[in-house]
């Protein structure tokens, strides 16, 4: 261990610890901006470019960036000297001198790390007024808006995209004042290999990267008396929406969320989880079909649109191995516009389906032309994120905390515990196994919870005994981890039978559309724990037991994985 003092307090930390981390062990937070260390995601951005974490070290002439300076024995550190504080303030003033002053109208207003820092440091004027850079705003994609004028060159997005996701969309170009983070050849975002996973915007400290805002489209539909507007809510939204209203991370707000959507004016509030159960029935049947016919294994889950775009771009030779199932929210859309429209006698063209998702890639997915064959009736019309829903609730002046718990409408609001666990890494495969095990072995499952697929480990593997046959399963989250598994499959040395892949670290609970975690992984863990609590609270916990899904097959779809199911619930992939 290394012994030192920080602000006259003795500290003992392991060798290699930075001054920043050593200070945190005695509850001193040195401000940071570019720095980001998410151990579980193997993301460590400590390029020390912003210099707001500088501290005084006795015997050193210059101030030291605490995020990248390791402690040494006997070091004497002062974090709060007038010189250090003045230097931090100067750094922030310099950043602000080349930053738009439109904080009041920025979509990151009150959620921006730079703004918070300027406030904490008491920056009251910008001494270095001068030239400001001017770049075009990129609104080319259906999911992400990129405003390089607000970029502070912290490179968090670059580290996230290049090292964690291994997609490599961004790099810093130019020198000094001219430096900016750009796409290769300055291509518009939609022309790059971007998967729209949204992880870059989840870690962007300012408003340089944000989601495409679709709130006004929803208000318009809600206020059009001709439209029959249906909301469907993703599993992960109910364990994070409360954070937008000051509730603890991991608070389960399913009932309040439904009540809020009803007060906003939705004609029906249904659950994407209904379609998650439907997806499991289809996917488990598809797996059995591949097993019976000697089809290609492993089968890969296909509910994450960023992951789908990743394999389409990067592994075009493997397009026949993912399941052909559409994602649950898309399945929901088509069922709402066919089955439910029939049931209610409503013209499907009058129906607007709004998906509330933790994800920005779902915005891009809903706009894919092959999803919703008839252009007049796309499966899903509008996608808003958890953050956008929170904003709508605030705009409407609804006091979220005081709302009563209300129930989803029926029949498309019915779901089992298997559906809710879709929202966290490992959940889709666990849900699939709860059904596939019983169908393949013909025996009831003795142990319903598959602990081996839970937790934040990047790649989780286990062998499940299916009536004498070893069934090899892997779960991975984060596209860099997915790449490792896909390369194994490509090389022909994978023995897996089924693999779950989610693009976002943590799965959907860590989606790019969730309330910002500001680098705190404990928030993601609290959301995951809430997902498993919600599963335990359900009476039914296996997808094939969902009574409303059974009725849907009996009355409308016919056989699982049959002709009608194929036409409506399955898709194909494009190179
Ligand atoms: Fe997900 Fe899914 S679980 S993809 O992570 O399969 O977004 O929550 O809605 O569609 O159900 C997201 C979450 C979500 C779909 C389901
Ligand atoms: Fe990279 Fe994902 Fe951001 Fe696209 S959305 S640039 S893939 S991190």
pLDDT digits (tens, 9 = 90+) for 245-262: 999 999 999 999 999 999
**329: CA distance to ligand 1 center in Å?**
7
- Structure token digits, residue 213: 């805002």
In this structure, are residues 144 and 211 in contact, taking their beta carbons and an 8 Å threshold?
yes
- Structure confidence at residue 234 (pLDDT): 98
Is the CATH code 1.20.140.10 the one for domain 133-212?
A: no
177 pLDDT band (50/70/90 cuts)? low
493 Cβ contact partners less than 8 Å away, ≥ 6 residues apart: none
Does the pLDDT value for residue 466 go beyond 80?
Answer: yes
Query: DSSP secondary-structure letter at 251?
Result: -
In this structure, are residues 221 and 267 in contact, taking their beta carbons and an 8 Å threshold?
no
Query: DSSP secondary-structure letter at 305?
Result: H
Per-residue pLDDT tens digits for 66-97: 999 999 999 999 999 999 999 999 999 999 98
- Structure confidence at residue 18 (pLDDT): 95
- Structure token digits, residue 482: 């997915």
373 pLDDT band (50/70/90 cuts)? low
Phi-psi region for residue 573, left (φ > 0), alpha (ψ -120 to 50) or beta? beta
415 pLDDT band (50/70/90 cuts)? very high
Region 139-166: mean pLDDT is 94
Q: Going by CA atoms, what residue is nearest to atom 6 of ligand 1? A: 303
- 233 pairs with which residues across the strands? 271, 356
Identify whether 286 is a catalytic site residue. Answer: yes
**162: CA distance to ligand 2 center in Å?**
9
- pLDDT above 70 covers a percentage of the chain that reads 99
Average pLDDT, the chain: 94
Identify whether 370 is a catalytic site residue. Answer: yes
* Fold for the domain defined by 2-97: Ubiquitin-like (UB roll) (3.10.20)
Q: Looking at the chain, which residues constitute the CATH 3.40.50.1780 domain(s)?
A: 216-569
- Structure confidence at residue 126 (pLDDT): 81
Q: Can you tell me the distance from the alpha carbon of 509 to that of 283, in angstroms, rounded to the nearest whole number?
A: 22
Does the pLDDT value for residue 551 go beyond 90?
Answer: yes
Identify whether 53 is a catalytic site residue. Answer: no
Is the CATH code 3.40.50.1780 the one for domain 216-569?
A: yes
Q: Can you tell me the distance from the alpha carbon of 116 to that of 97, in angstroms, rounded to the nearest whole number?
A: 16
Q: Can you tell me the distance from the alpha carbon of 218 to that of 214, in angstroms, rounded to the nearest whole number?
A: 7
Best mutation site among 143, 196, 232, 236 for ligand 1 pocket (most ligand atoms within 8 Å of CB): 236
Which value, to the nearest 10 degrees, does the dihedral of the CA atoms of residues 222, 223, 228, 229 take?
0
Identify whether 283 is a catalytic site residue. Answer: yes
Annotated catalytic residue, options 112, 154, 157, 508: 508
- Taking the CA of 333 as reference, the closest ligand is 1
Q: Can you tell me the distance from the alpha carbon of 575 to that of 570, in angstroms, rounded to the nearest whole number?
A: 17
Identify whether 262 is a catalytic site residue. Answer: no
In this structure, are residues 247 and 240 in contact, taking their beta carbons and an 8 Å threshold?
no
Region 492-499: mean pLDDT is 92
Does the pLDDT value for residue 541 go beyond 70?
Answer: yes
Region 391-405: mean pLDDT is 98
- Structure token digits, residue 144: 């992400």
- Taking the CA of 157 as reference, the closest ligand is 2
50 pLDDT band (50/70/90 cuts)? confident
> In the structure, which protein residues have their CB atom closer than 6 angstroms to any atom of ligand 2?
144, 160-161, 165, 167, 169, 194-200
């Amino acid at each position: 261990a290394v012994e030192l003092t920080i602000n006259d307090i003795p500290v003992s930390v392991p060798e290699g610890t930075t001054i920043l981390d050593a200070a945190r062990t005695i509850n001193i937070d040195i401000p940071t901006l570019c720095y980001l260390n998410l151990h579980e995601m193997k993301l460590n951005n400590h390029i020390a470019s912003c210099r707001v974490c500088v501290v005084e070290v006795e015997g050193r002439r210059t101030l030291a960036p605490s995020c990248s300076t390791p402690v040494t024995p006997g070091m004497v550190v002062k974090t709060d000297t007038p010189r250090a504080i003045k230097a931090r303030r100067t750094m922030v003033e310099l950043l602000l001198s080349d930053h738009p002053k439109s904080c009041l109208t920025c979509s990151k207003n009150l959620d921006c790390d730079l703004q918070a820092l300027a406030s904490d440091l008491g920056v009251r004027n910008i001494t270095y007024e001068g030239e400001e850079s001017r770049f075009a705003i990129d609104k080319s994609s259906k999911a992400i808006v990129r405003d390089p004028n607000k970029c502070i060159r912290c490179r968090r997005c670059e580290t996230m995209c290049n090292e964690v996701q291994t997609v490599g969309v961004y790099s810093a170009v130019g020198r000094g004042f001219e430096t900016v983070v750009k796409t290769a050849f300055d291509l518009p975002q939609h022309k790059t290999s971007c998967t729209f996973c949204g992880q870059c915007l989840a870690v962007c400290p300012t408003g340089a990267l944000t989601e495409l805002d679709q709130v006004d489209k929803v208000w318009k539909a809600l206020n059009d008396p001709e439209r029959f507007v249906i909301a469907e809510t993703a599993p992960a939204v109910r364990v994070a929406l409360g954070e937008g209203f000051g509730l603890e991370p991991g608070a389960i707000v399913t009932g309040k969320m439904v009540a809020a959507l009803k007060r906003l004016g939705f004609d029906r509030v249904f659950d994407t989880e209904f379609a998650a159960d439907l997806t499991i029935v289809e996917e488990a049947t598809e797996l059995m079909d591949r097993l019976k016919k000697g089809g290609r294994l492993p089968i890969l889950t296909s509910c994450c649109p960023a992951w789908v775009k990743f394999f389409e771009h990067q592994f075009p030779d493997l397009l026949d191995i993912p399941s052909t199932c559409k994602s649950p929210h898309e399945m929901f859309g088509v069922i709402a516009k066919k089955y439910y429209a029939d049931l209610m006698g409503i013209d499907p063209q009058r129906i607007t389906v709004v998906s509330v998702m933790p994800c920005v890639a779902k915005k891009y997915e809903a706009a894919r032309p092959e999803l919703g064959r008839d252009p007049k009736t796309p499966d899903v019309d509008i996608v808003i994120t958890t953050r956008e829903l929170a904003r709508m609730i605030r705009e409407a002046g609804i006091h979220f905390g005081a709302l009563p718990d209300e129930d989803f409408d029926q029949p498309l609001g019915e779901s089992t515990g298997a559906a809710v666990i879709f929202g966290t890494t490992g959940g889709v495969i666990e849900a699939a196994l709860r059904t596939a095990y019983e169908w393949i072995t013909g025996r009831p499952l003795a142990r319903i919870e598959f602990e081996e697929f839970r937790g934040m480990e990047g790649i989780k593997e286990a062998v499940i005994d299916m009536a004498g046959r070893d069934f090899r399963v892997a779960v991975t989250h984060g596209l860099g981890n997915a790449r490792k598994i896909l390369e194994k499959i490509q090389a022909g040395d994978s023995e897996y039978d089924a693999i779950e892949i989610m693009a976002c670290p943590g799965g959907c609970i860590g989606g790019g559309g969730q309330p910002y975690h500001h680098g705190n992984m404990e928030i993601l863990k609290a959301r995951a724990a809430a997902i498993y609590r919600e599963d335990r609270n359900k009476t039914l916990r296996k997808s094939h037991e969902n009574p409303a899904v059974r009725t849907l097959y009996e009355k409308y779809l016919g056989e699982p994985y049959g002709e009608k199911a194929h036409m409506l619930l399955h898709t194909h992939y494009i190179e």
